[in-house]
């Protein structure tokens, strides 16, 4: 059983925010908020780009960004409220162009993992590696689960939608992670942002896996948001991928709950691409 890493605090997160200010840039009419870190003299010739999940933001992978920035440029984005995976991919490419980023390792978790796959299908020439965390390649399950919520979203108050989404958080044993994610859900992420993120994948399915040489799939046993059949489906879609499965204590958020192991997985993945 993997050890729970209770070795970061909310105070450390606040310090990260103070040192690494959130940037903002408007590209093609869309406002991108992002972190851009490089804490080394000779960075690797590709950047590491993080895409958050439905209730995440640009900083949610702060532990991994802080560590990986010691060897390469890392970018954590806050996806604008765009309701199409196709459009998010187009706008993300324009955003990366503005930052003069030509080659990336792309990590997406949950919603971000679906977007990451879509992006890699559309722009395989710039994706050197793909990390798919607690995610899926078919949205039929979520289409059936959330279609009524989306249909009636204008009539449903935001606090009700957020209360439903809070359910998986109550079982998180890592106190700082639980508090951070709860605060994120209720104070940072707007109802409109949540609805846009759901709409961007809920009516989409990937036609085929992207043509990317290096793929790492990260799952969690008994993930409360990605059922086993979806985990099996994505593993089968990438037969040559490296696969790691956290124990159930990692919940849907192993990058916060078992951060050290998550960092090691990403570090090993980057090392593999340099061989």
Whether 150 has a pLDDT exceeding 80, the answer reads no
Its pTM stands at 0.94
Instruction: Quote the percentage of the chain above a pLDDT of 90.
Output: 80
pLDDT at 172 over 90: yes
Residue 162 backbone zone (phi > 0: left; psi -120 to 50: alpha; other: beta): alpha
- Between 19 and 155, name the one with better pLDDT: 19
Kindly state whether residue 196 falls inside one of the protein's structural domains: yes
How far apart are alpha carbons 162 and 191 in whole angstroms? 8
Instruction: Identify whether the C-beta of residue 94 lies closer than 8 Å to the C-beta of residue 27.
Output: yes
- Among the listed residues 167, 202, 200, the one whose alpha carbon sits nearest the alpha carbon of residue 185: 167
Rounded-to-integer distance, Cα 202 and Cα 191, Å: 16
Rg from Cα positions in the chain? 17
Task: Tell me if residue 273 falls in helix, strand or coil.
Answer: helix
- Domain CATH for 219: 3.40.50.1820
> Please, which pLDDT band fits residue 275 given cuts at 50, 70 and 90?
low
Does residue 137 carry a pLDDT above 60? yes
Find the mean pLDDT for residues 115-130.
96
* b/e map 184-223, b = 16+ CB within 10 Å: bbeeebeeebbbbbbbbbbebebeebbebebbbbbbbeeb
Task: Evaluate whether 72 touches 271 at the Cβ level (below 8 Å).
Answer: no
φ/ψ of 59, rounded to 5, equals -95, -5
pLDDT grade for 2, boundaries at 50, 70 and 90: very low
Over range 55-62, report the average pLDDT. Answer: 97
pLDDT band at 254 (very low <50, low <70, confident <90, very high): very high
What is the span of the domain harbouring residue 212? 10-270
State the total domains in the chain: 1
For residue 186, tell me if it sits in a domain: yes
CA distance 208 to 101: 26
| Predicted confidence (pLDDT) per residue in 188-240, tens digit | 999 999 999 999 998 888 768 899 999 999 999 999 999 999 999 999 999 99
| Pairing mode of beta strands 74-78, 242-246 | unpaired
Q: Is residue 1 part of a domain?
A: no
Would the pLDDT of 5 be above 80?
no
């Amino acid at each position: 059983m993997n050890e729970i890493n209770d070795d970061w605090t909310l105070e450390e997160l606040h310090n990260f925010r103070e040192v690494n200010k959130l940037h903002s840039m408007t590209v093609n009419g869309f406002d991108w908020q992002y972190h851009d870190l490089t804490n080394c003299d000779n960075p690797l010739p590709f950047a590491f780009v993080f895409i958050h999940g439905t209730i995440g933001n640009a900083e949610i992978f702060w532990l991994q960004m802080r560590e990986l920035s010691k060897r390469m440029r890392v970018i954590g984005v806050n996806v604008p409220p765009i309701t199409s995976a196709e459009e998010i991919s187009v706008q993300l490419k324009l955003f990366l162009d503005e930052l003069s980023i030509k080659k990336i390792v792309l990590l997406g978790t949950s919603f971000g993992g679906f977007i990451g796959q879509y992006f890699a299908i559309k722009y395989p020439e710039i994706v050197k590696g793909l990390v798919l965390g607690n995610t899926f390649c078919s949205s039929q399950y979520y289409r059936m689960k959330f279609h009524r919520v989306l249909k009636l979203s204008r009539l449903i108050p935001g606090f009700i939608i957020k209360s439903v989404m809070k359910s998986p958080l109550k079982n998180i044993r890592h106190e700082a992670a639980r508090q951070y994610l709860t605060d994120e859900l209720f104070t940072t992420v707007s109802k409109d942002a949540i609805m846009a993120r759901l709409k961007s994948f809920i009516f989409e399915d990937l036609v085929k896996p992207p043509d990317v040489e290096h793929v790492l799939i990260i799952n969690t046993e008994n993930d409360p948001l990605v059922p086993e059949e979806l985990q099996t489906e994505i593993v089968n879609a990438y037969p040559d991928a490296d696969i790691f499965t956290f124990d159930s204590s990692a919940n849907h958020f192993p990058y916060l709950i078992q951060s050290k192991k998550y960092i090691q997985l990403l570090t090993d993945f980057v090392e593999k691409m340099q061989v």
